[in-house]
Amino acid sequence: MAASFDNLLYDLDAASGILTITLNRPSKLNALNAATIEEIDSAMQLALDDRQVRGILLTGSGEKAFVAGADIAELAALTSGQAQRAAERGQEVFCKIEDSTKPVLAAINGFALGGGCELAMACHMRVAADNARFGQPEVNLGLLPGYGGTQRLPQLIGKGKAIELLLTADMIKADEALRLGLVNHVVPLAELMDFCRQLMTRILSKAPLASGMVLECVNAHYAKGLNGYEAEAKAFGRAFATEDFKEGTGAFLEKRPAAFKGK
């Protein structure tokens, strides 16, 4: 499916089913503004609705920044009420990424600060180039994260260290992000996209419906009002009714590679 945006590049490799969404505001280090948030929402909806899209890579243009933060000039003009609505909208869009049953992998090619760090954390997995830098510097501006940073950072690295980073506004390097569990892998910048495509290809070789259920169940652990164990048991039962289950078990017993169709 062809798609055109002002602030994003939308590139689907039909052969692999891997969609690459690139934040494309290089003169602003890919900083998030309201228009870009809306385009991320539209691109994600297109991806979720398109059966050709099986996995999503999210990255930034250039070699300096994934997303260097929010557009401060735009933020500075907001009233208190407008700021709350902007935060709620950003949270809604980032939750669409987190709740996707198609895997979303952030390829972090430089600075991931403020809203950029929050965007990366909304993805299911994160791979960082060795030049990547992470931080939530909002308290330097008299602000706090508004797109879910106070919620997702503790989930990923633990409460105490998350509070330290949120309150000091310290920026950490890629190797420290790996040690803390904020990212899954660190690779040289020149190898970042190839590594991410290879990782996504491995993921997409597995049963797609089961993979989507895994994402649902992991998210259920963190969702208010949901019992993750109950969600897992129900999904386990649903998996048995799929053609993918029949294919996967049949292939195992017949000692051949499985050919999953997502049914």
pLDDT digits (tens, 9 = 90+) for 26-46: 999 999 999 999 999 999 999
User: Annotated active-site positions, please?
Assistant: 118, 138
Amino acid at 11: D
The CATH code for residues 8-204 is 3.90.226.10
Could you report the per-residue pLDDT of 177-235, keeping only the tens digit for each?
A: 999 999 999 999 999 999 999 999 999 999 999 999 999 999 999 988 899 999 999 99
Contact 132, 111 (CB under 8 A): yes
Distance CA 95, CA 259 (A): 31
Domain range summary for the chain, segments of one domain joined by +:
8-204, 208-254
User: Which token pair is 138?
Assistant: 């909002």
Q: Give the model's pLDDT for residue 225.
A: 87
Residue 16: its pLDDT value, please? Answer: 97
- Rg of the chain over CA atoms, in angstroms? 19
- 54-77 residue pLDDT tens: 999 999 999 999 999 988 889 899
pTM: 0.95
Q: Is the confidence at residue 253, as pLDDT, over 90?
A: yes
Please give the C-alpha separations between residue 66 and each of 31, 32, 108, 167, in angstroms, as whole numbers. Answer: 9, 11, 5, 23
Average pLDDT on 107-132 reads: 98
pLDDT tens-digit readout, 124-138: 999 999 999 999 999
